[in-house]
Structure 1
Amino acid sequence: MIKYYNRKTKDYEIEKVAGDRYLQWTYSSPIGMQVLELLVKKKIFSKIYGNFCDSRRSLKKIHSFIKDFGIDMSESEKSMSQFTSFNDFFTRKLKSEARPIYKNIDFLVSPGDGKLLAFENINLDKLVQVKGFTYSLANLIGNSNISEKFSGGTCLILRLCPTDYHRFHFIDNGKCEETVKIIGDYYSVNPAALKKIPELFCKNKREWSIFHSENFGDILHIEVGATCVGSIIQTYTPKNPVEKGEEKGYFKFGGSTTILFFEKGKVKIDQDIIEETNKEYESQVVLGEKIGEKIK
C-alpha cells in the first residue's frame, strides 16, 4: 500500500498500482526475488514486453487500463480510435489546456506528473533513496566532476507510476546539452522495490544531461528507466533554445523516474512538499504546477 499526499485536498490517499500483487510478490518473497534477478531485471524481459506494447496486438489492453485506473481521456489529444498500440496510448500527448504552465519566471514548476520527493542541502555521497538506503550522485551519473557542482543544493525525485502522463518537460527557458546514456538493469521504481534494492537508481538504465536554465542556474536532468520500460525517448534538440514547459522526452510503458539536481542557493521548494518528504510521504503533482520559487 502506497500512501501519498494530495496537495489539492490536503489529505492522504492510497495509490492505485498497476500490477500491485505481482510487485509485492516479486519484491517480498524469496522465489520472487530469484525470478527478479534471473529474468525480470534483465533488458531482454523489458524489450520483449516493450515490443508487444508497440504492436497492434496490445490495443485490447487500452480499454481495461482506462477503466481500472480512471484515466481522464478528455485530456488526450488523440481519441481512443486513433491509437495504434498500447504504447501509443501510454505515451499520449495531452491538450495544452490540460496542463497549464505557470509562466512567472520566479516560479519553479513540476517537470511532469507523478509523486514528488524534495531534499535540500544535499550530501552528494548520501542521497536518500528511502529511509536506510542512500547512494552517491557520482555513482548515479558516473562523473564526479559534474556531481560536485551540486553539492549542498536541491534534489527533486519525481516518480511516474504507469497510470501517470509519461512525458517530461523543461522547467524553464534555456538550452540543454547532449544526453549521456548509461546501460543498466530494469528494477521497478515502486517504493516496494526501493526498500529492497540498495542503490537502485545507480543500477537501472538511466540518461542524464545538463540544462542551462535562464532563471535557476545549471540543472542536472536524470531520467531513470524501470521494469517494462522499453525505451527512454529524448525529443529535444541539444543546444537549441527551449521554452518553459516545452517537452524534453518521454518514457514508453512502465514506471519511471525523473530526477533533477539544482545548485546551492538557486531554488526554494514549497514548504508543504518539504514537510511531507520529511515525513516520508510523496506529494502528488502535475506538469506545470508550482512547486517552488527562485531564490533572488
Structure 2
Amino acid sequence: MIASLTEQEDLNFLLTNRIPRAALTRFMGWFSKIENPFVRDASIACWRLFSDLDLSEAKKTEFKSLHDCFTRELRPGLRPVDPDTSVVASPSDGIVGAHGRIQDTELFQIKGAPYSLLDLLGDPALVERHRNGRFLTLRLTSSMYHRFHAPFDCRIERVTFVHGDVWNVNPIALKRVERLFCKNERAVIETRLPTGEALTLVPVAAILVASIRLHFLDLTLNAQSRGPNVFPCDAGVHKGDELGWFEHGSTIIVLAPDDFEFAAGVTEGARVKAGEPLLRKPSP
C-alpha cells in the first residue's frame, strides 16, 4: 500500500528531526572533512543518489573531501550580478519561501506560522529599523551552490551570532515546529545601504550544517564558537562580493526597507540564483 502524503511527511520529520541532531551535526562536520579518496568518492556518490547534485558548474573537477565539494566555488561568470543600482540581488541560489510585508514586527515562516522580529534578531533597535519592512526567505537545498554574496553595495556594521538548535529547515519541519528560525543557530548580519537604510541578512543553520563562514570577519561560527557573540565591524562590500558560505543546505532571511518592492517573478516556490533580482526600489 502506498503511504499517504501525511505519512510520508511524518516519516521525513521523524528521520530528520527526531534524532540526536546536535551530535549528528558534529559528526558530519568531522566526517565531511576527511581527506581520503575512498571516503570522498563514496560520500559524493551517495549524495548524488539522493539529490539532484550537479557539479558541472564547479570551478574544480576534483575535491579533497566532501566538505570541499559542499563549499565549492563556481566557474567565473556563472552568477552575473544584476547591475541595476535600484535592485537588491539574491545573496545565494535558493528557493523562495515565505515573503511579503512585515506586519508591524511579525513575519511568517510559512502561511499561518508567525514569528516575531525580536525573537529572530534579539535587538529592539534593529527591530525598529525593520518594522513594517519587507522580508523574504531563501531555502538552499543540499545540492545547491552554498556560498552567499552581498545583495547590494553596503557597509557591514555588526554581526551577532545566536547559539541554538539545528532543526531541519525543510517545509515539512516549518509546518511542525513553531518559530523554528528563532530556535536554530543563526548569524544576524547588519548592513547599512548608501541611503542610510538597514538591510539585514540572517543565515540560519540547520541539521548537518551548523557552521557559517564569514570572510569579512575571518571566522567560522558554529556550536564550538567561544568568546564574544557580537562582532562590531566596518566592512564595505560591493554587490556580488562573496560574504561566506554554509557547510550544507540551509536558509537565508533577507530583511529590507519598506520602500522596496519584490522583483517580477519572485513567487513562493520559484528558484533563483545568486545575483538575480529579489527586490527593487521604485524610482522617485
TM more than 0.5 = yes
Task: Name the structure 1 match of 2:223.
Answer: none
Alignment partner of 2:186 out of 206, 218, 232: 206
CA contact (8 A) 1:216 1:294 kept: no
Contact 1:124 1:147 in 2 (8 A): no
**Matching residue within 255, 258, 264 for 1:261:** 255
- Cα distance, 1:68–1:194 mapped onto 2, change above 3 Å: closer
* Secondary structure in structure 2 of the residue aligned to 1:73: coil
Question: Do structure 1's residue 49 and structure 2's residue 28 form an aligned pair?
Answer: yes
Alpha-carbon shift at residue 68 of structure 1 (Å):
5.5
Once the two structures are superposed, what CA deviation does each residue of 1:233-291 show, in whole Å capped at 9, x if it has no partner?
111244122111001111102x31111111221x1112432xx3xxxx32110001123
2:193 is aligned with what amino acid?
Answer: S
Q: Which runs of 4+ in 1 moved over 6 A?
A: none
- 1:177-235, Cα deviation, whole Å (9 max, x unpaired): 23111110000000010011000001101110211123683211111000100411111
Is the counterpart of residue 231 in structure 1 residue 211 in structure 2?
yes
In structure 2, the residue matched to 1:25 is 11
User: CA offsets per residue over residues 137-194 of structure 1, 9 Å max, x none?
Assistant: 1001111221121111100111101011111110111210231111100000000100
Are residues 125 and 151 of structure 1, via their aligned partners in 2, closer, same or farther at CA, if it must alter by over 3 Å? closer
Please say if residues 157 and 258 of structure 1, whose CA atoms lie closer than 8 Å, have aligned partners that are also in contact: yes
1:59: which partner in 2? 40
For residues 209 and 12 of structure 2, the distance between their equivalents in structure 1, rounded to whole angstroms, comes to 17
AA paired with 1:39? P
- Partners of 1:70 and 1:45 in 2: CA distance: 23
**What does residue 151 of structure 2 align with?**
171
Whole-Å Cα distance in 2 between the matches of residues 94 and 38 of structure 1? 33
Q: Distance in 2 between matches of 1:216 and 1:68?
A: 45
Contact 1:125 1:136 in 2 (8 A): yes
Query: In the aligned structure 2, how far is the partner of 1:191 from the partner of 1:87?
Result: 25
Residues 143/152 of structure 1: CA separation in 2 closer, same or farther (3 Å cut): same
For 1:223, the aligned partner's letter is: P
- Candidates 153, 156, 165, aligned match of 1:185: 165
SS at match of 1:94: coil
Q: Partner residue of 1:242?
A: 237
1:106 touches 1:215 (CA, 8 Å); kept in 2? no
What SS class does the counterpart of residue 77 from structure 1 fall into?
coil
Percent of residue pairs identical = 29
Whether contact under 8 Å (2:59, 2:74) holds in the other structure is yes
2:271 is the counterpart of 1:292: no
| Corresponding residue number in structure 1 for 2:81 | 101
Alpha-carbon shift at residue 106 of structure 1 (Å): 1.7
Contact 1:110 1:291 in 2 (8 A): yes
Secondary structure, counterpart of 1:127 in structure 2: strand
Q: Do the aligned partners of residues 151 and 22 (structure 1) sit closer, same or farther apart at CA in structure 2, a change above 3 Å counting?
A: same
- With 204-213 and 191-200 compared, the bigger mean Cα shift is at 204-213
Structure 2 SS opposite 1:104: coil
**TM-score, length-scaled by structure 2:** 0.83
Aligned amino acid, residue 269 of structure 1: F
Q: Which residue of 2 aligns with 1:220?
A: 200
Q: Is structure 2 residue 86 aligned with structure 1 residue 91?
A: no
User: In 1, Cα distance between the equivalents of 2:56 and 2:271?
Assistant: 20
* Alpha-carbon RMSD: 2.3
Q: Which deviates the most, 58-67 or 198-207? A: 58-67
Residues 105 and 131, structure 2, Cα contact 8 Å, conserved in 1: no
Structure 1 stretches lacking a partner, 5+ long: 1-20
* 1:187–1:204 contact (8 Å) kept in structure 2: yes
Number of matched pairs? 259
Within 2, Cα distance between the matches of 1:64 and 1:158? 25
CA distance in 1: counterparts of 2:9 and 2:76, whole angstroms: 34
